[in-house]
Chains A and B, each alone.
Chain A
Amino acid sequence: MIDLVISVLRAAIRAGSPLLVGTLGEIYTERSGVLNLGVEGVMLMGAVTAFAVTQTTGSIAVGILAAIIVGGLMGLLHGFMSVTLKVNQYVAGLSLVMVGSGISSLIGLGYIGIRGKKLRPVFLGFDILVYLFIALAMVLWFILYRTRIGIEIRSVGENPAAADAMGINVNKTRYLCTVLGGALIGLAGAYLSTAYLSSWTDNMTSGRGWIILALTIFASWNPRGAVLGAWIFGGVEALQYRLQPLGISPSFLGMLPFIATIIILVVSGRFSKGSRGVPEALGKPYRRGER
């Protein structure tokens, strides 16, 4: 029994790691007031880039770095659409999902069925990134709540007009956060294809991008809260594989993460009404002199 619990916990943390780093990225994006619904697409691009570059260069580190850059570039594109052009951020995010799924599938065409390199465990059976992501959550929490930059980011997301009056560059802050967010989401994708698994399949994120969006709400836009949420969802995923031998239909088990996401959304809406921390200006473009 103890063995089973430990093995589920271990699997939960591993499966939760890409969710964690992706959620951290989306938290920073949304804290600055930009809503990036394109997580699924950015993650797919990260996954395919990391896998393809690792295959060609032979180095996982280079692969992951490339995924971070590609993620950042997609964040930049979203920043351009939402901050500069000020278009509908919902639709802009959706278009990123489609572009990401299309291009990743084209890039990945030659890599299907290939077994790639995989990040080795360093301590307690976890790879280095698992620890790095937890540390990152703490660092990002510290920056957001204990430093001047954090105050600036939050004020831009809460009340851009006031932030502007205080001399904070609203657009620059939003661009930076959206690019950082995209980079972290790209990293989440890279984790999937080079650490969690070691292969590429079409649409391999299979909904994780949307779960990350829900986790961002569940975490109340707080990097510390993201850790718990990500591991819970990692647990749901891990549980799927543990329950399969019991004869429960795999299609039914496959629904679990999505049902859990809806439940989590309802619960986080219900128990923290009013103070649940949604950035006041989320999804609203800022124009000077307009309220």
Chain B
Amino acid sequence: MRIKVEPRADPTWKLTLAVTVFSALIALPIIAVIFWGFQVNPIEAYSVIFEGAFGDWYGFSETLTKAIPLMLCAIGLSVAFQTGFYNIGAEGQLLMGAIFSTYVALQWGELPSIIIIPLMLVAGFIGGGLWGLIPTYLRVRFETNEVITTLMMNYIASKTLEFLVYGPWKGADEWGFPYTSKFNVNTWIPTWGFTRIHTPTLVFAVLSGIALFFVLTRTKIGFETRIVGKNPEAARYLGISYQRIFMIVMLISGGLAGIAGFGEVAGIQHRLRPGISPGYGFTAIIVAWLGRLHPISTMLVAVLFGGLLVGGEMLQIRLGLPAATIQLFNGVFLLTILSGEYLLRNKIIIEREARQ
């Protein structure tokens, strides 16, 4: 018997779906073994996650709440990754968006909601977009590696946030906590019923995903975006400036992450404080990858990972596991999904040798 590996031409979408789902599922027994190694009962852990995230309406509403920032970050990342720009900085872009929105809220919070909330959204977009454009400019101008610079920008953003809430923006009545004052009620994004789902942001996220999908597939700039990522040589022959594409794409990717930050401060916290994001920007990388960099499927995956984040919190509360446990899930998912790509690109043929 011999095993032969042959490259495969474009896989069908059915095969792609099957392999993606299968390789994501393979992660579960692997993580179970790791849990077991740490004397955590994997069945108990999985049921805690599932019940916490999807078991009742409250859990599911929390899942959707957490899916909002994941969606916003991940659809932006999916476009950035498609052009071959490795934006690992969604976390920092989210924080910068939150900072910019907070500035607007603290300055003009008394304005009527219909004015102040859109203003904060725009501020969030600008904050995140600018934060994304800095490493992009460095890439197109000096060819610096964007993976490292976007990551450094994450740290700088989180230190900036710390600096602000411990220093100039520290609220007067917060008993020494590193919080800004509570925002004026006018700045609060309305939520759905008794849940924490800030519906306008969710609607905005879904609409942006759909819009990006159409831009990518139906417009000239979308075509250019895909060409730059798929075949940089061809793009050069066609006279497409990758610099311009990178800047546009990163303004959008960073801006959407910034809007995610706006959603967190205006929809959930109603103030700025450290820890507004449990790593949404990082989890969004897996979401985008598992969604195969397609804005629509990415949105669905975001809901699953919103559930995983909620489940992760339950693991902390019920089983006393550390917060970083969720990173283990993220990492193993990413590894198995990547390995699955090998199966998509190659045919594995098992041949029985003929008897002589």
Contact A261 B326, beta carbon cutoff 8 Å: no
Q: Quick one: which of B305-342 are within 8 Å of A by CB?
A: 321-332, 334-335, 338-339, 341-342
Smallest CB separation, A28 vs chain B (Å): 18
Contact B331 A90, beta carbon cutoff 8 Å: no
Whether B207 is near chain A, meaning CB under 8 Å from some CB there, is no
Q: How many residues of B contact A (CB 8 A)?
A: 46
Contact B155 A269, beta carbon cutoff 8 Å: no
Closest to B152 in A: A258
- One digit per residue, 1 when the CB lies within 8 angstroms of any chain B CB and 0 when it does not, for chain A 75-95 equals 000000100011110111011
A residues near B21, Cβ cutoff 8 Å: none
Query: Which residues of chain B have a CB within 8 Å of any CB of chain A?
Result: 34, 38, 86, 88, 135, 138, 142-145, 147-149, 151-153, 155-156, 159-160, 162-163, 166-167, 282, 285-286, 289, 321-332, 334-335, 338-339, 341-342
Binds B, one of A5-13, A56-64, A103-111, A138-146: A103-111
Q: How many residues of A contact B (CB 8 A)?
A: 46
B residues near A202, Cβ cutoff 8 Å: 322, 324
Whether A55 is near chain B, meaning CB under 8 Å from some CB there, is no
Whether A121 is near chain B, meaning CB under 8 Å from some CB there, is no
Residue of B38, B138, B328 near A266 (CB, 8 A) is B138
Give the distance in Å from the alpha carbon of A99 to the alpha carbon of B222 in the complex. 34
A residues near B148, Cβ cutoff 8 Å: 210, 213-214, 217, 261, 265
Contact A87 B142, beta carbon cutoff 8 Å: no
Binds B, one of A155-163, A226-234, A246-254: A246-254
13 other A-B residue contacts (CB within 8 Å) besides A94-B334, A98-B286, A99-B328: A81-B335, A81-B338, A91-B285, A95-B330, A98-B327, A102-B324, A102-B326, A103-B34, A202-B324, A203-B324, A210-B151, A254-B159, A269-B143
Closest to B343 in A: A85
Residue of B86, B160, B286, B327 near A251 (CB, 8 A) is B160
Contact A109 B322, beta carbon cutoff 8 Å: yes
B residues near A108, Cβ cutoff 8 Å: 322
Closest to A96 in B: B331
Contact A101 B324, beta carbon cutoff 8 Å: yes
Contact A251 B331, beta carbon cutoff 8 Å: no
Contact A90 B142, beta carbon cutoff 8 Å: no
B residues near A210, Cβ cutoff 8 Å: 148, 151-152
Whether A100 is near chain B, meaning CB under 8 Å from some CB there, is yes
Closest to B321 in A: A106
Smallest CB separation, B297 vs chain A (Å): 17
Closest to A87 in B: B338
Q: Quick one: which of A35-53 are within 8 Å of B by CB?
A: 37, 41
Would A98 and B328 be within 8 Å (CB), given that A85-B338, A106-B38 are in contact? yes
Give the distance in Å from the alpha carbon of A95 to the alpha carbon of B327 in the complex. 9
Closest to B38 in A: A106
Would A252 and B335 be within 8 Å (CB), given that A102-B326, A202-B324, A261-B152 are in contact? no
Interface residues of A: mostly helix, strand, loop or mixed? helix
Closest to B325 in A: A102
Residue of B144, B155, B341 near A87 (CB, 8 A) is B341
Smallest CB separation, A285 vs chain B (Å): 11
Contact B335 A270, beta carbon cutoff 8 Å: no
Smallest CB separation, B37 vs chain A (Å): 9
Q: Quick one: which of A197-219 are within 8 Å of B by CB?
A: 202-203, 207, 210, 213-214, 217
Give the distance in Å from the alpha carbon of A102 to the alpha carbon of B31 in the complex. 11
Give the distance in Å from the alpha carbon of A109 to the alpha carbon of B320 in the complex. 10
Whether A259 is near chain B, meaning CB under 8 Å from some CB there, is yes
Give the distance in Å from the alpha carbon of A97 to the alpha carbon of B327 in the complex. 9
B residues near A96, Cβ cutoff 8 Å: 331
Would A105 and B325 be within 8 Å (CB), given that A81-B339, A92-B338 are in contact? yes
Contact B327 A262, beta carbon cutoff 8 Å: no
Smallest CB separation, B280 vs chain A (Å): 14
A residues near B162, Cβ cutoff 8 Å: 251, 254
A residues near B38, Cβ cutoff 8 Å: 106-107
B residues near A95, Cβ cutoff 8 Å: 330-332, 334-335, 338
B residues near A265, Cβ cutoff 8 Å: 138, 142, 144-145, 148-149
B residues near A107, Cβ cutoff 8 Å: 38
A residues near B142, Cβ cutoff 8 Å: 265-266, 269-270
Contact B332 A99, beta carbon cutoff 8 Å: yes
Whether A255 is near chain B, meaning CB under 8 Å from some CB there, is yes
9 tightest A-B contacts by CB? A102-B328, A98-B331, A99-B331, A105-B324, A95-B334, A102-B327, A251-B163, A251-B162, A258-B152
Smallest CB separation, B342 vs chain A (Å): 4
Contact B338 A252, beta carbon cutoff 8 Å: no
A residues near B156, Cβ cutoff 8 Å: 255, 258-259
A residues near B330, Cβ cutoff 8 Å: 95, 98, 102
B residues near A214, Cβ cutoff 8 Å: 145, 148, 152
Query: Which residue, A88, A98, A254, A259, has most C-beta atoms of chain B within 10 A?
Result: A98
Give the distance in Å from the alpha carbon of A230 to the alpha carbon of B60 in the complex. 48
Contact A252 B331, beta carbon cutoff 8 Å: no
Contact B285 A94, beta carbon cutoff 8 Å: yes
Contact A255 B338, beta carbon cutoff 8 Å: no
A residues near B328, Cβ cutoff 8 Å: 98-99, 102-103, 106
B residues near A99, Cβ cutoff 8 Å: 327-328, 331-332, 335
